[in-house]
Structure 1
Amino acid sequence: MSSVPIADHALLSDCRTAALVTLDGSVDWLCLPRFDAPSQFARLLDDEAGHWSIRPVERARASRRYLDDTMVLETSFRLSGAVVTLTDALATGGEDLGHGIGANSPHLLVRRLECSGGEAEVEIVFEPRPEYGLVRPVLSAVDGGIEVLGGADRMVLTSPVPMRVEEGTASVRLRLVPGRVLLFALHHSAAGRPPARVWPQGELAHRLERTAAAWRSWSELHQAYEGPWQDAVRQSGRVLQALTFQPSGAIVAAPTTSLPEGVGGERNWDYRFTWVRDASLTMDALWIAACPDEAAEFFSFLATAAGPPGEDLRLQIMFGVDGERDLTERVLPHLSGWRASSPVRVGNGAWDQHQIDVYGELLTAAHRLADYLTEIDEGTRGFLVACADAAAFHWREPDQGIWEVRGEPRHFLHSKVMCWAALDRAIDLADLLRARGRVPEWTRERDEIHREVLERGWNPEVGAFTQHYGSADLDAAALTMPITGFLPADDPRMLSTIDAVERRLTDGHGLVYRYLAPDGLPGREGAFLTCTFWLAHALALAGRTGRARAVFERALAQLNDVGLLAEEIIPSTGEHLGNFPQAFSHIGLVNAAWAISQAELPAGG
């Protein structure tokens, strides 16, 4: 059973895949060659599912940081007489700079080891377990490293020191002296690609330097946000970029699967796919946190994945990172799960749910990024028009809603509001979309949605907009109504809703639950960071900037030591829950920071 706290992990990315590294120097999660591939290391989910650790033998005090403006991780172990420094990165291509980061990824995890101030003994344990721990590979010593054979993967570990091999594990203890630098690397290959190989030390050093340069180049060219919480906003921008699958433009919701929403429970889902909603919101947030040069590629990816457009388009809510549609869910019974939270799932059974809010998030992102879409092709333009037509066509239908409730469809308020947003944005984009003739119909449907939501979504007895028509249950998704522009934040009904959410969906710690109504699944989940940032955002729009800052700071305090957020928090302990790091949480951070900064501008500023 894995028990390392979720927040003890740091993220590495080459914009193809991701690794998670613990505070004590263990790579406990790595899927190669892409985010949703079977894992090579999965100790995150089971102690026997593989890891690669590099750590001092002597007990040490560890601290870490990302090198400035990069996703290159530096961990410092302070011992009684020395400091051991471990630098980790998923290497980018040698010429990957700026917009092209990740374009030529060599599928190479590089780990640089050195010490200063005195000598130190270090232990290295390399225990790959491909295919989610099902394969115990054969390890063979080769000149300069270890060859890994097992399953469909071909990997080679570069090691500048000989290692002992025993039953699928390679290990070594070595004494570091000041001034000596050792570089280790894991290279992955598959059929049709150049074979995995041992890398010379000088080439690994160059790759590590070029990876840092690539991230700094991306940050310099893309990140211009200046305002409150600048460091957190820019770091969130890099995290969102790190969750991008460069070859297609897809953006994953998180790089992990089955980290639970409740310890020991079964709310464990695979987030290594591109949700239309989350990815669209990511592109929207990158408008603030980073210049989204990839906007056209992203919408082109969705247009291709969605297939031929039509007015009754039922847009699939998520796709694989190369546009795959069938994401059938299955259970891996051999994995015990993080803190015995089972089942561990791969695939996601929500892939074929009906969720009509996705049209709104997508067209809102297109509206925000319109300046980057002037050269879109006819296929992408037709897809965006079809999304608006689909919102007009489907908005009266019940659906599973933003929270993907696995039960009977309902008339969720948020879904209706986002269909309104889809049509509102499409009307404004009509010239870009060459769809001026569609505007009268879009306007009629938009206005009809608005009338119905005000009539059926408001519950006067509760004094709030509620989760779905006829419901008395609150849902934090109602906070998006002023964020989308459906109603002004200072509308009395909206102010009453904001107050009700803050009063009834928190438990004294100030973090917001998405809802408290039964949803058909056992157990209770944590507070949602996205919802807490929504509350701060809505308060800022309502002119309550002091309160907005207080709520924002409470959510911001949940960042781990390297600026990462999971999906949820246990309010009483501050422990992170859910897949990690979670794009949705970082999106909320970026947007709320921006809203507060704008609300605090002097009048006329």
Structure 2
Amino acid sequence: MQSTPIAEYALLSDCRSSALVSLHCSIDWLCMPDFDSQSVFGQLLDTDCGHWCICPREIVQISRKYVKEAMVLETTFVVKSGTVVVTDAMALGMGERGHDLGRRSPHALLRSIVCMDGHVHVDFEYSPRPEYGLVLPLLKRVSGGLESRGGSSMFLLSTPLDLEIVESAARTEFTLNSGQALHFSLQHRSILDEPLSSWSQTEIADHSSDTVEGWQTWSQLHQNYQGPWKELVAHSGRVLQALTYFPTGAIVAAPTTSLPESVGGDRNWDYRFTWVRDASFTLEALWVAACPDEALKFFNFLAEAALTQVRKGADLQIMFGIRGEHDLTERTLPQMRGWRDSSPVRIGNGAWNQRQLDVYGELMEAVFLLRQHLNDLDELTREFLVSIVDAAASRWQQKDQGIWEIRGEPRHFLYSKLMCWVALDRGIQMAELLQAADSVSSWRQTREEIRGAILSQGWSQKVGSFSQAFGTDDLDASSLMIPIVGFLPADDARVLSTIDATVAHLTDQHGLVFRYVAQDGLSGKEGSFLLCTFWLAQAQAMSGQLDRAKETFAKAIGFANDVGLLSEEILPDTKELLGNFPQAFSHIGLINAAWAIFQRENGASEDDHDITIRTSAMAQ
């Protein structure tokens, strides 16, 4: 059974694909050449599904960090006889700088080990298992390393070591003395591509240095946030960049699949896709912690992926593949037992064809954030955006599955109605840009109908809070979005009461926020949700409760692991990280909450910065 704590992993990325490396320097998750490719190392989910480990013996102490301003990992091992540093990275193309991260990725994993003092004995094990552990590849010695054949992909391990091959694994042990270093690379190619050549020690070292420089140049060009928690915000911005698929600008929700929300349960989903819901939150975070160029590219990807659906009258799909794929049909992988026997392991995501009406508002909010950069909208895109607003107007009264993709009967979820209101509100404010003046009157009327319904049917007098769904007393953290999207002022009595009710009834013993506690039709109990905790901090900051906002924020960031990565959820009893990892939404929440606190501390009003505080009609 695979039981390595999720918190012990660090992320590597070349802005096309990703790897997770454990505290003991085992690559336990690697998908190449893309985020959604089949894994070649899948030990994250099953001990029999492949890994690549370089780890010294007789360890006394382990520490690790990312190289400054780069997604390159350094792990330092102090052992009884000396000290070594292992450096891990996914190679960027030589000379990639600025906007180019991922443009010329060579699809290679880079690893180096350097003895800093004394002498160190090291174990080396390379055990590829392509196609999620289904394939036992043939390992063949070639000039400069080993070639792995099996399935539709081929891998070339460049190594100076003489490895012992036993079936589909290669092993050895070696000793490094002070000042000695070894470098390794693992290159991927399709069986249709030209054969690969192994890399020399110098070539691998050059790729490693250039990868560090590429990340650092990107950080220096794109990151200029100067508010509180500067390093955390900048690091979160790099994490979002690391989760970006360069060819399209899509950002995956997480680079993993089936890390559970409930240990031993079946709340295990594939997150290697892009959700429309994430759009506005992501764009705001990118603007604060990265660069407008990335935000524009992400928006263009979403618009192009969704255009054909809305034009033919279908519901706007809630999520897409990283290349814009629509069909994300879900299936299970019986050969993988799952992290801590949490099965099934799934690829694809069955939520792709759910009805979730909130996506109309989230997409229009993304447009609203970018409106100053969209002066030259072509007729097709303008038509598409108008149809989004019209769809929200015509469908807001229908039931759906809600923001949390509940796999039960459709309901009248408040958040879905709220985001339909957002779609209309932003459409009205951008009517000139959309050349939709003739629609404004009807849009205004519908916007007020939605507003009235939310205030009359979405408020629970019993709990003193806005509720999860019309006519219920169940609470839901998504109600915290009411002030964030500008539906009501943050100091409105109903908003303040909702904030208080969330703290009183939806937080665990550590002050972290649950999404909801009502039954959702699935077995098992999930942990508290970091994104919702950051929403609480953001709402508290906007309402002027700065001390409470800072306290809530501090509690949430306290659960980042040793290299600053956040999961989706926290198991209250053990404080363990749960869910797919690292989670883009959690890092997005961190950035946006930090920015809201910074704005409030500096006396910004709700109209001073329309990237942070959404302007809207806030009639009471």
- Secondary structure at the counterpart of residue 293 of structure 1: helix
CA deviation after TM superposition for structure 1 residue 311, in Å? 8.2
Equivalence for 2:539: 538
> How far 1:113 sits from its partner (Å)?
1.2
Structure 2 match to 1:277:
277
Moved more, 90-99 or 521-530: 90-99
For the 8 Å contact 1:385–1:435, the answer to whether it is kept is yes
Aligned residue in 1 for 2:374: 373
Q: Deviations over 1:428-472 (max 9, x none)?
A: 223333333332232222222111111111111221110000111
Preserved CA contact (<8 Å) 1:251 1:279:
no
1:119 corresponds to: 119
CA–CA separation in structure 1 for the residues paired with 2:353 and 2:499: 32
Partner of 2:612: none
Aligned to 1:351: 352
Q: Which moved more, 1:423-432 or 1:587-596?
A: 423-432
**SS, match of residue 515 in structure 2:** coil
The number of residues matched between the two structures is: 605
In the alignment, which residue of structure 2 is the partner of 1:591?
592
Is contact 1:58-1:79 (8 Å) kept? yes
Provide the residue aligned with 1:318 in structure 2.
319
- In the superposition, relative to structure 1, how do residues 87 and 376 fare at CA in structure 2: closer, same or farther (>3 Å)? farther
Q: Percent identical across equivalent pairs?
A: 56
| 8 A contact 2:286–2:294 mirrored in 1 | no
Q: What's the counterpart of residue 341 of structure 1? A: 342
> Superposed, which structure 2 residues align to 1:120-519 within 5 Å?
120-308=120-308, 309-310=310-311, 312-519=313-520
Range with greater deviation from structure 2 (159-168 or 421-430): 421-430
In structure 2, what residue type is equivalent to 1:405? I
* Structure 1 segments unaligned to the other structure (5+ residues): none
Distance 1:66 1:9 in 2: 12
Per-residue Cα deviation, 1:517-563 (whole angstroms, up to 9, x for no partner): 00011110000001111111111111111011111100010010111
Query: 1:475 and 1:103, CA in 2 relative to 1: closer, same or farther beyond 3 A?
Result: same
Contact 1:154 1:188 (8 Å CA) reproduced: yes
The amino acid across from 1:567 in the alignment is E
Distance, in Å, in 2 between the alignment partners of 1:493 and 1:508 is 25
What is the CA deviation profile of residues 125-168 of structure 1, one whole-angstrom value per residue up to 9, with x for unaligned ones? 00000000010101011111000001111110000121111110
CA distance in 1, matches of 2:129, 2:557: 36
For residue 8 of structure 1, what is the aligned residue in structure 2? 8
1:343–1:337 Cα change, 3 Å: same
**RMSD over equivalenced CA pairs, Å:** 1.5
Report the AA paired with residue 352 of structure 1. N
- Is this contact kept in 1: 2:279–2:366, CA < 8 A? no
Secondary structure in 1 matching 2:20: strand
**TM-score relative to the length of structure 2:** 0.95
Is 1:43 aligned with 2:64? no
Provide the secondary structure at the position in 1 that maps to 2:130.
Answer: coil
Q: CA deviation at 1:192?
A: 4.3
Over 3 Å counting, the alpha-carbon distance change for 1:222 and 1:371 in structure 2 is farther
Whether the aligned pair in 2 keeps the contact of 1:154 and 1:195 (CA below 8 Å) is: no
Q: Secondary structure of 2:55's match?
A: strand
Please tell me whether the aligned partners of residues 313 and 390 of structure 1 are also in contact (alpha carbons under 8 angstroms).
no
Q: 2:513·2:532 contact (CA, 8 Å) conserved in 1?
A: yes
Change in 2 beyond 3 A, CA 1:99/1:380: farther
- Which position in structure 1 is the counterpart of 2:617? none
Q: Quote the Cα distance in structure 1 between the aligned partners of 2:370 and 2:383.
A: 17
Which residue identity is paired with 2:355? H
Counterpart for residue 552 of structure 2? 551
1:4, distance to aligned residue in structure 2 (A): 0.4
Residue 96 of structure 1 and its aligned partner are, at CA, apart by 1.8
In the TM superposition, residue 372 of structure 1 has moved relative to its aligned partner by 3.5
State the distance in 1 between where 2:165 and 2:444 align. 69
Q: Alpha-carbon deviation of 1:377? A: 4.1
Contact 1:119 1:178 in 2 (8 A): yes
The aligned amino acid for 2:527 is: G
Rate the CA distance shift 1:27–1:363 in 2: closer, same or farther, 3 A.
Answer: same
* Distance in 1 between residues matched to 2:433 and 2:486, nearest whole Å: 21
In the alignment, the residues of structure 1 paired with residue 593 and residue 159 of structure 2 have an alpha-carbon distance, to the nearest angstrom, of: 45
CA separation of 1:90/1:379 partners in 2, compared to 1, >3 Å: closer, same or farther?
Answer: farther
Contact 1:565 1:582 in 2 (8 A): yes
